[in-house]
Amino acid sequence: MNFFSTKKQHIMAPEFYILYNGTEELPEESLIRLSDCYIDGSPENSIEIVVKILDVSYNKDKNILKKSRTLYEYSRFIQIVRETLAASSDKEAAAKEAVRIAMSEGLLKEFLGVYGLEAADMAFREFNYEAFIEQIKQDYFKDGVELGERKGKAAGLIEMYQELGIPREEAVTRVKEKMGLSAEEAETYMDVFWKK
């Protein structure tokens, strides 16, 4: 590929997948779109990414697990890890038992032969969706508070400059400097808060 060419370059179409191995029931295949998460809809020049979610949680009858021996073995191993952890209060003993059972079933032999207990330990620390969502909410709240504070500061400065009779163009420059904004950001605040 020539990145400096003025002619259109052809590339392979990217595909995005999530292999889901959680405990929540999902269809075997589903799609999620990045634009579903946009706060203000999809502007014309925004990016759209569609991700196919494949539910690989253990079930002998799942088509995807029938097609891929490695995914089947991984899925079964995770199920064993969950079962041994639920049956024991001793995490280390549960990890050893999970590896022993998986090895006896012939699952992920090479991998578990090298990384056995480490692999089980990583599986015990599986992704916690609820904790993730809670963290996202907290981050958005914090971002919202910061944005609100910035808007409030901009509104106050603009109102003060306008009351002092400072011309709009000079006020833009002052808002930009006081708040460390780009010219475009300062103009956006001026458009919103400058009383005509």
DSSP tag of 106:
T
Mean pLDDT: which of 45-49, 94-98, 99-103 is highest? 99-103
pLDDT at 106 over 90: yes
Looking at residue 31, what is its pLDDT? 93
Contact, 124 vs 95, CB < 8 A?
yes
Q: Is 47 exposed, middle or buried (0-12, 13-18, 19+ CB in 10 A)?
A: exposed
pLDDT band at residue 127 under the 50/70/90 scheme: very low
How much is the average pLDDT of 71-79? 91
pLDDT mean over 109-138? 72
Residue 64 and residue 92: Cα distance in Å, rounded? 31
Coil/strand/helix, residue 195: coil
Dist CA 12 CA 69 (whole Å): 27
Bridge partner residues of 53 (DSSP): 18, 30
> Residue 6 and residue 42: Cα distance in Å, rounded?
29
Q: Is the pLDDT of residue 159 over 80?
A: yes
> How does the average pLDDT of the chain come out, rounded?
85
Q: Which pLDDT tens digit goes with each residue over 5-26?
A: 888 888 888 899 988 888 888 8
For residue 67, list its beta bridge partners. none
pTM for the full predicted model: 0.55
CB-based contacts of 26: which residues, under 8 Å, 6+ apart?
20, 53, 55, 57
